[in-house]
């Protein structure tokens, strides 16, 4: 049986199959006889933000590990953003100090992963200062949070503290987090993961985030927004 997709989006696997047969995007398979158009979805773009500027931060190991796991997903493009490298002023706040490149990254993204250490049961102020630079760019995008702590709870409190902030920014939170507790024991001196149980945990987290990012991209493209008053 020959399934014909005409100017529509193919399931990724079918698209790969046709490309594997030597077809390019939008090219007909049997020229002149059957008009088969292949329109490939661009990969989801899910950057990772490391939310601390602290010298010697352990959560950089977490961010790098999550980054490597995310890069393995064939349908996802990612990049690692260091909050301390974002151009930010300390004499202002909010969209007034919007950075064009950071805004463009958030505008383009379908979801965000935050890697956040717990500082006195809260989130680092610099992360909030950075997140506040954008607003409409976040709306209807997915967000997942990896909490990091020296204590055993893996940043559970910082994640809870961030949820209302995410909501106010227009981001959509997922119900999977990853808690990196006792982070000083999880990685070796070179930043290599010692506890392999984090591989399936991050996988489960990514599965949920990617699902939500895909659903929300579909929604942004196809469902009209609520009219503004």
Ligand X SMILES: Cc1cc2nc3c(=O)[nH]c(=O)nc-3n(C[C@H](O)[C@H](O)[C@H](O)COP(=O)(O)O)c2cc1C
For the window 178-197, what string marks contact with ligand X as x by the rule CB under 6 A? Answer: -----x--------------
Q: Which stretch binds ligand X (CB under 6 A): 90-98, 113-121, 170-178, 219-227?
A: 113-121
Cβ distance to ligand X smaller for residue 57 or 201: 57
- 149 contributes a contact to ligand X by CB under 6 A: yes
End-to-end CA distance of the chain: 51
The rounded distance, in Å, linking the Cα atoms of 7 and 9 is: 7
**Residue 84 neighbours by CB distance under 10 Å:** 15
Q: What are phi and psi of 119, to 5 degrees?
A: -120, 115
Partners of 45 in the beta sheet?
Answer: 77
Region 2-31 residues binding ligand X, contact defined as CB under 6 A: none
Buried b (16+ CB within 10 A) or exposed e, 134-154: bbebbeebbbbbbbbbeeeeb
Instruction: Note the Cα 86 to chain centre separation in Å.
Output: 17
- 119 contributes a contact to ligand X by CB under 6 A: yes
- 150 contributes a contact to ligand X by CB under 6 A: yes
Exactly one of 46, 57, 86, 137 binds ligand X (CB under 6 A); which one? 57
- The nearest distance, CB 58 to ligand X, in angstroms, is 3
Cβ distance to ligand X smaller for residue 96 or 120: 120
- 217 contributes a contact to ligand X by CB under 6 A: no
- 59 contributes a contact to ligand X by CB under 6 A: yes
Q: Strand 178-180 vs strand 141-148: parallel, antiparallel, or unpaired? A: parallel
- 118 contributes a contact to ligand X by CB under 6 A: yes
């Amino acid at each position: 049986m020959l399934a014909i997709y005409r100017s529509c989006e193919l399931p990724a696997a079918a698209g790969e199959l046709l490309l594997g047969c030597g077809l390019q995007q939008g090219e007909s398979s049997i020229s002149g006889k059957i008009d088969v158009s292949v329109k490939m979805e661009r990969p989801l773009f899910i950057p990772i933000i490391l939310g601390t500027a602290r010298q010697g931060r352990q959560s950089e190991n977490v961010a790098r590990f999550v980054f490597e796991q995310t890069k393995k997903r064939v349908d996802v493009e990612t990049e690692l953003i260091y909050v301390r490298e974002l151009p930010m002023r300390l004499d202002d706040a909010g969209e007034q100090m919007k950075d064009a490149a950071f805004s463009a990254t958030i505008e383009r993204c379908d979801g965000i992963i935050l890697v956040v250490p717990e500082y006195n049961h809260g989130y680092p102020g610099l992360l909030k200062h950075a997140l506040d630079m954008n607003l409409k760019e976040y709306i209807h995008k997915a967000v997942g949070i990896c909490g990091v702590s020296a204590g055993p709870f893996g940043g559970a409190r910082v994640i809870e503290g961030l949820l209302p902030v995410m909501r106010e920014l227009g981001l959509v939170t997922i119900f999977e987090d990853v808690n990196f507790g006792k982070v000083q024991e999880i990685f070796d001196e070179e930043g290599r993961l010692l506890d392999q149980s984090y591989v399936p945990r991050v996988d489960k987290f990514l599965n949920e985030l990617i699902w939500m990012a895909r659903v929300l991209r579909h929604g942004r493209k196809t469902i009209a927004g609520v009219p503004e008053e």
